[in-house]
Amino acid sequence: MDEIKIKVNAKINLSLDITGVREDGYHTLDMLMSSIDIYDVIAAKSSKSSAVTMDGKSAPRDNTATKTLQLLGERYGIAMQVDIVKGIPFSAGMGGSSADASGVLFCASKLYGIPLEELMPIALKVGCDVPYMCYGGGARVSGVGEVVAPVEIPQTSLVVVQTMAGASTKEIYKKYDEVGGDKEGKYFNVLEKSAIMLTPDIAKAKRDLLRFTDTVFMTGSGSAYVGIFDDGESAEKCAEILRNDNIFAKAAHTQSVGIEII
């Protein structure tokens, strides 16, 4: 095999708690996560030099896929040409950047015969969600992202809505350290309070979803919100209505895997 094409599913945080702060400043987490069927498509082939294109344009050097390729080259001396077609919205808290990094690692594993488990140190170096995104499905993720324990999550219909991009993840964690967060109910996110304080208008997505369902929560550090529905038909109707007044609104379902070969 010298080339491969995959789908990398987005993730949502069904719950997100912060359990402490390490001496190095990293926050320790306790998160219940699930893959959903909103995804990026990644095509990769072995090459003599590495390059990443995203939606037809060269990806910047600080892109997570580019960083991952650089680390793979330094560690294993391998190179790939990678093309990414985005389907996961930017700055949404759905793991879009982590999806691209995990996709590159998955492709390298398949093309060069490197066990995926062996690549986890690189995954964690790129981002705390990347080790989970390499496998996906339902999982309890803790520590700084290095502990991933599979959890069975029933297939669930949902709608993801994003009104606008929010503040940076770094700024949201900084604000959390100042004001703390709230834990209420089965679905909660302790970063929501900070995210809304920094960018109040992201909460429009929450208000929109609450017109259709009582179960609404923010994913990741925002700015997307997730609404849980009883069935796919209700979710599709909601997404269709909200699509015109938000930058992203789409019905989806939870998935048992994070990456699929096309």
List 249's β-bridge partners, or say none.
Answer: 161
Among this protein's residues, is 11 annotated catalytic?
yes
CB 222 within 8 A of CB 192: yes
Residue 121 to residue 82: CA distance in whole angstroms: 21
Question: Pseudo-torsion of CA 223, 89, 14, 242, nearest 10°?
Answer: 70
Active-site pick, 11, 67, 175, 206: 11
Residue 58 tokens read as 């060269």
Active-site pick, 67, 129, 175, 206: 129
Beta-strand relationship, 51-54 and 80-85: parallel
Question: Pseudo-torsion of CA 145, 92, 166, 127, nearest 10°?
Answer: 30
Among this protein's residues, is 237 annotated catalytic?
no
Active site residues: 11, 129
